[in-house]
Structures are given as C-alpha cells and as structure tokens.
A and B are shown apart, each in its own frame.
Chain A
Amino acid sequence: TQLLEQSPQFLSIQEGENLTVYCNSSSVFSSLQWYRQEPGEGPVLLVTVVTGGEVKKLKRLTFQFGDARKDSSLHITAAQPGDTGLYLCAGPNTNAGKSTFGDGTTLTVKP
C-alpha cells in the first residue's frame, strides 16, 4: 500500500510569514499533485509535479518534487489570509486507477 504522510498536521501563522509543508512516502510515485481545499468547497488542484527534482512556482507558492520521487514540499512566501485552507497531496497508485491522498495540512494565516 502506498501511503502519503503530510506534516505538519496543523499550522497557524501570521500574515507575511513564510512556511513549508511536507508530503512524504516510502514509495515512489510517478507524479504528485497538490490541492487546496477551502472551507465548504471541494479540493482544487494547484499543481502536478512529475520529474524528480522538479520545482514549480505558482506566484508565492513553490512546489518541489524530491529527486527520488518519494516526497514533495510546498513553500509559501509571505503568506496571506487567502492562503488559509487544507493542503492535500496525492499521487497515483501503481497499477491502479485510483490515487492515494495524504491527510492534509490545515493552514491558518491570521491577519
């Protein structure tokens, strides 16, 4: 079974601070996706990383895929209250059509 562990589980910071959240596994994934879920809504896809060592930037968000494709990180620069939400990572299961989801990191950015 391929598992994804996310840390920290909860994170509360002040507006303007930087933060990093992690998604780790002992298994290799062909790709990893990051989603953000706001209260009362469904998860929204932010990015997919595919190549080991890949770095993708989305405005103030920087996503990195580990060289061995077993882990990923999300770094947010100068966090804003609008970044508040649940951040989920997910990866496709080998030889299966479904994906594994982590339990998520709940981020709260206080103004």
Chain B
Amino acid sequence: DAGVIQSPRHEVTEMGQEVTLRCKPISGHNSLFWYRQTMMRGLELLIYFNNNVPIDDSGMPEDRFSAKMPNASFSTLKIQPSEPRDSAVYFCASRPGAGEQYFGPGTRLTVT
C-alpha cells in the first residue's frame, strides 16, 4: 500500500490567495483526519470525517478554513483567504475502524 498521500508537499503563496491541500487516504480506511502542526502549538486536530461525513470540526480555526470529503478516496482542506499565521505543516491521517491513525508526509505551507 502506498500509504496516505498528500499533495503538494510544499506550498508557498501570498497572503490573500486561496490554498487547497489534498489527501488520499489508505484504501479501506473509513476515518480521515486533518491536523496542523506548529512549533508553538504542536499537533492540532482541525477536523475529522467518518465514512466521508464530517464528525467534528471544532478545531477549524475560523471560517477561512473548509474541508470536504466527496468520496472515500479523496479529501481537501481549503484556506481562503490565506494569512501568514496559517503557515504550518498540515497532515492528513486515515484510520481503519477504531485502530491507529496513519499519517501522510504532510504539506508545508508558507504564506508570505
């Protein structure tokens, strides 16, 4: 299995631009998580889906952030408009049932 796939691996954009991060979970995993990691706040859960349905989005910082999971093999995290404080590494993770989470390699986002 290829594991969790994220794209792009690096994204540099200017403040105010729209950013879309993509994730392909491991086939057969029914839960998907989006995290943000920074030195100051560590690993923060933004939102998670179960069977493509958003279950808990309480970690989404504000309305500029949105996430979708149109099918079992694809999810996006969108930031519109982006701000410098959004700079972080964004991870997607998937999980089979109630087991362990498997993380992707992350997207390093820099907003200038």
Identify the A interface with B (CB < 8 A). 33, 35, 40-45, 48, 88, 90, 92, 96-99, 101, 103-104
The 9 closest A-B pairs by CB, nearest first: A42-B103, A103-B42, A43-B103, A101-B43, A42-B106, A42-B105, A45-B100, A33-B100, A42-B91
State the Cβ distance, B45 to closest chain A Cβ, in Å: 6
Residue of A at shortest CB range from B47? A98
Contact call A104/B91, Cβ cutoff below 8 A: no
State the Cβ distance, B106 to closest chain A Cβ, in Å: 5
Chain A residues within 8 Å of B106, by CB: 40-42
State the Cβ distance, A6 to closest chain B Cβ, in Å: 10
Identify the B interface with A (CB < 8 A). 4, 31, 33, 42-43, 45, 48, 50, 55-56, 91, 93, 98-106, 108
User: Most chain-A CB neighbours within 10 Å: which of B42, B48, B93, B108?
Assistant: B42
User: Most chain-B CB neighbours within 10 Å: which of A42, A45, A96?
Assistant: A42
Residue of A at shortest CB range from B102? A45
* Complex: A48 Cα to B100 Cα, angstroms: 8
Residue of A at shortest CB range from B48? A98
